[in-house]
């Protein structure tokens, strides 16, 4: 079909036939150049794959990662900063470890109370294993029911000396708060400041030696005989010193003085350092070798809590929290407190103190389950409060029982409604009762009845009762408080050393002339226990009632 000259050339199909002869296929290949191009491309790809594929098949990148690890050395563990210690100016010889008490107790100790218990009324069965209404701050292992009479205090903030903190709502001295802090109270505080031990504490026995009032006259001038063989105006050696230190601090924090900015900051700093020194690892202030420690701990806890609330000093927060935790561990399950850690029996005096200490700590910001501890305490208060002669009466260690007394003071001092006052304060601050509650009002007004108002008669003097009743009646307000306040203020100020008629007639009207100027004689029911330091501190607290708590409001107002 085609001419010999190849004018018309047909396409060669030989490249499709692998069996075609070589000679014949050459011509076909030459006539189809793109086939050669394709072969060349494949060859190039094969060469590229030859160099690339082995690298992709290596275990790779492991070497790169390993190399990176070798080059990056791990940084050394960071060094922790040492724990910061509390630092205050003017600190000298601070001891970091708690002090162990080496006291030895004897069986014939005169501070033990009388175990005799003869109830005046036919009352319900005593819920306690230990059937005694007497108490004493000195340990007696068989029948010790101690109370120094160092009455409870709650706090609430913002006095003239402090920076506010958690206590801003508490009434404070001055025209916009409570009444101005009077001369008697300031004189009492100055006496405490001038009789502080150089270690920071207040001693029931050495305060005279600790005095900075050089040349001033010492006159233990009391119109009543000593009760229980007390020596002069001293209290019991060593037993109450930690509690007295806490109580003295509370006398300063009452109107708002703190350890940071107030004019009494040096005194309070030294006292705070002392309490820090004696707080054990479990949170307890002081040793636990005797029953007295539970009162010492409650007072000291309250004192540190008020300083924390007034100043907002964060260094004090762990001290307060650990102290609160110890109080909660010491409470009897389902009931209240007494001496020791969960001793199985209870009394109203210790329980009331613990409730008000916890209330203060709560205001200061300590974290704990108030519903649990308050509910259990309420059970105890209700258990021992019964009708006696037509009126509700809160008992000390059993339903309706009278308040306790030292063995040496049995029969010397009249009974009074101090347990009723504790009931009123505790139930109000726990939120278990309201001011409109008829039982609360009845029990509070009992304190204003004839024979129960403050009087400077030996059988009537009970600074402990006067302080409790003042806090209770201040919350009640009205005519009951007016009547009580008038009698209380007059009795205390007329008989304060340096202001009394006897001292004024003798010309002993200044601290330069009289070492006891501003203090009170320890002539009350608990004077032989705490001595002059106790009497002065608790009476300052009583006169400071206006500043210690914000007054509650009736739900119906």
Contacts of residue 28, defined as CB under 8 A and 6 or more positions apart, other chains included, come to: 12, 13, 14, 15, 20
C-alpha 26: how far from its chain's center?
109
Q: Which two tokens stand for residue 257?
A: 């003085």
Calpha distance 102→308 (Å, rounded): 31
pLDDT band at 445 (very low <50, low <70, confident <90, very high): very high
Q: Which two tokens stand for residue 510?
A: 């200044």
pLDDT in tens, 511-533: 999 999 999 999 988 888 899 99
**Which residue intervals of 116-179 are DSSP H helices?**
none
pLDDT of 93 reads 41
Q: For the chain, give the mean pLDDT.
A: 76
For 465, phi then psi, to 5°, come to -65, -40
Q: Is the pLDDT of residue 316 over 90?
A: yes
Query: How many degrees, rounded to 5, is the angle at CA 355 between CA 350 and CA 358?
Result: 125
Contacts of residue 467, defined as CB under 8 A and 6 or more positions apart, other chains included, come to: 151, 538, 539, 541, 542
Q: Which two tokens stand for residue 449?
A: 């009845």
Contacts of residue 412, defined as CB under 8 A and 6 or more positions apart, other chains included, come to: 227, 405, 458, 459, 525
User: Phi-psi bin for 470: left (phi > 0), alpha (psi -120 to 50), beta?
Assistant: alpha
Q: Helix 241-253 crosses helix 265-278 at what angle (to 10 degrees)?
A: 140
List, as one string, the DSSP characters of 150-219.
----------SSS--GGGTTS--BSTTSBPPPPHHHHHHHHHHHHT--TTS---TTTHHHH---TTPBP-
pLDDT in tens, 335-390: 999 999 999 999 999 999 999 999 999 989 888 988 899 999 999 999 999 999 99
List, as one string, the DSSP characters of 99-116.
PPP-----TT-TTPPP--
Residue written as token pair 């990662």: 65
Q: Which two tokens stand for residue 544?
A: 């400071």
- DSSP category for residue 392: E
- DSSP category for residue 529: H
Q: Is the pLDDT of residue 120 over 50?
A: no
Percent of the chain with pLDDT over 90: 53
Q: Which of 272, 352, 264, 287 is nearest to 320 (CA)?
A: 272
Q: Is the pLDDT of residue 69 over 60?
A: no
Q: Is the pLDDT of residue 148 over 60?
A: no
Question: CA end-to-end span of the chain, whole Å?
Answer: 130
pLDDT band at 72 (very low <50, low <70, confident <90, very high): very low
- Determine the average pLDDT of the residues in 163-178: 52
- Determine the average pLDDT of the residues in 66-76: 39
Contacts 24+ apart (CB under 8 A), 212-216: 213/511, 213/512, 213/515, 215/512, 216/511, 216/512, 216/513, 216/514, 216/515, 216/517
Which pTM value belongs to this model? 0.73
Q: Is the pLDDT of residue 199 over 50?
A: yes
Residue written as token pair 């007639």: 505
- DSSP category for residue 54: H
Structural domain 165-548, CATH architecture: Alpha/alpha barrel (1.50)
SS3 285: strand
List, as one string, the DSSP characters of 461-512.
--HHHHHHHHHHHHHH-HHHHHHHHHHHHHHHHHTSTTTSHHHHHTT--STT
Percent of the chain with pLDDT over 70: 65
Percent helix / strand / coil, the chain, rounded to 5: 45, 5, 55
Highest mean pLDDT among 4-18, 87-101, 329-343: 329-343
* Strand partners of residue 386: 393
């Amino acid at each position: 079909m085609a001419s010999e000259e190849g004018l018309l050339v047909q396409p060669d199909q030989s490249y499709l036939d692998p069996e075609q002869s070589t000679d014949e296929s050459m011509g076909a290949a030459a006539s189809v150049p793109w086939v050669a191009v394709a072969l060349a491309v494949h060859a190039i790809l094969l060469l590229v794959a030859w160099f690339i594929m082995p690298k992709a098949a290596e275990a790779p990148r492991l070497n790169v990662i390993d190399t990176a690890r070798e080059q990056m050395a791990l940084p050394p563990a960071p060094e922790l900063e040492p724990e910061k210690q509390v630092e205050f100016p003017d600190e000298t010889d601070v001891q970091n470890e708690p002090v162990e008490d080496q006291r030895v107790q004897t069986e014939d100790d005169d501070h033990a109370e009388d175990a005799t218990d003869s109830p005046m009324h036919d009352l319900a069965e005593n819920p306690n294993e230990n059937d005694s209404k007497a108490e004493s701050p000195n340990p007696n292992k068989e029948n010790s029911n101690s109370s120094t009479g160092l009455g409870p205090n709650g706090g609430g903030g913002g006095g003239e000396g402090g920076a506010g903190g958690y206590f801003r709502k508490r009434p404070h001295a001055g025209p916009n708060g409570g009444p101005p802090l009077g001369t008697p109270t300031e004189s009492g505080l100055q006496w405490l400041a001038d009789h502080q031990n150089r270690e920071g504490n207040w001693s029931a026995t050495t305060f005279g030696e600790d005095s900075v009032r050089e040349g001033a006259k010492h006159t233990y001038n009391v119109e009543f005989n000593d009760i229980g063989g007390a020596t002069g105006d001293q209290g019991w050696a060593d037993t109450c010193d930690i509690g007295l230190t806490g109580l003295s601090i509370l006398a300063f924090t009452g109107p708002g003085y703190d350890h940071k900015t107030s004019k009494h900051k040096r005194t309070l700093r030294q006292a705070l350092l002392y309490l820090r020194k004696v707080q054990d690892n479990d949170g307890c202030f002081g040793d636990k070798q005797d029953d007295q420690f539970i009162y010492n701990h409650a007072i000291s806890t309250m004192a540190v809590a008020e300083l924390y609330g007034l100043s907002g000093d964060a260094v004090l927060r762990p001290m307060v929290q650990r102290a609160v935790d110890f109080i909660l561990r010491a409470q009897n399950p389902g009931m209240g407190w007494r001496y020791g850690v969960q001793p199985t029996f209870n009394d109203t005096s210790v329980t009331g103190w613990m409730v008000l200490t916890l209330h203060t700590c709560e205001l200061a910001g300590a974290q704990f389950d108030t519903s649990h501890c308050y509910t259990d305490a309420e059970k105890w208060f209700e258990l021992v409060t019964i009708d006696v002669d037509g009126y509700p009466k809160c008992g000390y260690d059993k339903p309706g029982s009278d308040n306790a007394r030292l063995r040496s003071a049995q029969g010397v001092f009249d009974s009074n409604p101090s347990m009723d006052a504790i009931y009123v304060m505790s139930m109000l601050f726990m939120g278990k009762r309201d001011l409109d509650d008829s039982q609360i009002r009845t029990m509070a007004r009992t304190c204003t009845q004839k024979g129960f108002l403050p009087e400077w008669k030996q059988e009537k003097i009970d600074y402990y009762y006067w302080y409790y009743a003042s806090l209770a009646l201040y919350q009640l307000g009205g005519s009951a408080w007016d009547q009580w306040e008038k009698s209380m203020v007059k009795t205390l100020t007329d008989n304060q050393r340096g202001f009394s008629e006897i001292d004024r007639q003798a010309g002993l009207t200044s601290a330069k002339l009289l070492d006891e100027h501003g203090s009170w004689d320890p002539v009350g029911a608990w004077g032989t226990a705490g001595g002059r330091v106790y009497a002065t501190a608790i009476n300052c607290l009583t006169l400071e009632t206006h500043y210690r708590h914000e007054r509650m409001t009736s739900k119906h107002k």
